[in-house]
């Protein structure tokens, strides 16, 4: 193979090249040798820096060179991964850590192994346990690999201590792990969060869409929010959820309605209230039927 030696690398795509003696350099798209074969090993360029190794008395030492072949980060590591999202994992003194483009250590943590960052996180081995490590330096138990969600929204569901949260593609924690589950509805384009026996949708700002949930204790019903905080004290004998996030409630066999905020929009004075149908509920009092709309407005039949 004929290689032409060239001095220019500006704006060119450089590819690793191995010569007949087994040493490595880089060639351009025209097969011209841009960076001489001075290295015992190299890895492709990433973020304008390439891993390169030179021989030493204690084995190969790895550092990073620029597209002119100049050392930017000293070759002192036993191994190194390519740069990704501004950081690279390097191996020194039997441990892996991350450095930035200037060679500064990015985190105080060290690992038994560290991969390269992708979409805000990477896998590491910490004290014998595989963990998911965010670009911002947080450790999680796991993450859900949903390619569609990552492509469309730039988001990943993360897990810690069996609780679920949300992280963006830069590694920022959008929602700390706090839910029993967090599921993406691809068809309707929203998240549903689960906590104990409650579920709620998240809005476009990743906030819980507020509503109340019936809560039973000592044979009395009240209402709590998604996180279990008491909104309405337990004073009702029954509470059944209907359409429009409205509950039919009762006290001493008299029925009323409570809305999604916990407000009693119809007092417990009716002998019977039916589930909503076609936008209205039918209520019965003293043998007279009434229609009730979702706002609690009462229309006599």
Q: How far does Cα 146 stand from its chain's mean position?
A: 10
pLDDT in tens, 227-256: 999 999 999 999 999 988 899 999 999 999
pLDDT at 4 over 50: no
Once rounded to an integer, what is the mean pLDDT over residues 61-68?
97
**pLDDT of 59:** 92
pTM: 0.82
**pLDDT of 300:** 65
For the chain, state the CA radius of gyration: 31
Q: How far does Cα 77 stand from its chain's mean position?
A: 32
Contact 275, 248 (CB under 8 A): yes
First to last CA, the chain: 94
How many other C-beta atoms are found inside a 10 Å radius of the C-beta of residue 70? 8
pLDDT in tens, 204-220: 999 999 999 999 999 99
Integer CA distances (angstroms), 220 to 195, 217, 242, in order: 22, 5, 19
Tokens at 20, concatenated: 């007949």
Residue ranges per structural domain of the chain: 4-116, 117-208, 213-300
Tokens at 167, concatenated: 């992280």
Q: Burial of 231 by CB count in 10 Å (0-12 exposed, 13-18 middle, 19+ buried)?
A: middle
**pLDDT of 145:** 84
CB-side neighbour CA atoms (13 Å) of 16: 18
């Amino acid at each position: 193979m004929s290689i032409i030696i060239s001095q220019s690398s500006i704006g060119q795509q450089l590819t690793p090249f191995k010569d007949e003696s087994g040493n490595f350099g880089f060639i351009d798209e025209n097969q011209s040798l841009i960076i001489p074969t001075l290295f015992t090993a190299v890895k492709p360029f990433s973020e304008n820096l390439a891993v390169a190794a030179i021989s030493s008395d204690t084995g190969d030492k790895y550092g990073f060179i620029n597209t002119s072949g100049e050392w930017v980060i000293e070759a002192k590591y036993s191994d190194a991964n390519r740069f990704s999202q501004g950081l690279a994992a390097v191996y020194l003194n039997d441990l892996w850590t991350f450095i930035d483009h200037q060679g500064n250590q990015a985190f105080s943590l060290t690992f038994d192994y560290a991969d390269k960052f992708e979409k805000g996180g990477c896998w590491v081995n910490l004290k014998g346990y595989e963990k998911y490590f965010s670009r911002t330096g947080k450790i999680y138990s796991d993450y859900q690999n949903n390619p569609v969600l990552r492509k469309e929204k730039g988001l990943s569901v993360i897990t810690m201590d069996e609780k679920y949260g949300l992280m963006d593609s830069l590694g920022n924690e959008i929602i700390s792990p706090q839910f029993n589950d967090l599921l993406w509805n691809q068809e309707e384009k929203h998240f549903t969060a689960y906590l104990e026996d409650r579920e709620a949708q998240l809005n476009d700002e990743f906030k819980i869409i507020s509503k109340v949930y019936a809560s039973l204790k000592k044979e009395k019903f009240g209402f709590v929010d998604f996180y279990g905080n008491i909104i309405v004290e337990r004073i009702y004998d029954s509470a059944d959820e209907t359409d429009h996030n409205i509950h039919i409630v009762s006290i001493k066999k008299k029925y009323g309605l409570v809305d999604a905020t916990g407000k009693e929009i119809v007092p417990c004075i009716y002998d019977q209230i039916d589930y909503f149908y076609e936008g209205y509920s039918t209520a019965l009092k003293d043998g007279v039927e009434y229609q009730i709309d979702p706002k609690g407005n009462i229309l006599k039949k």
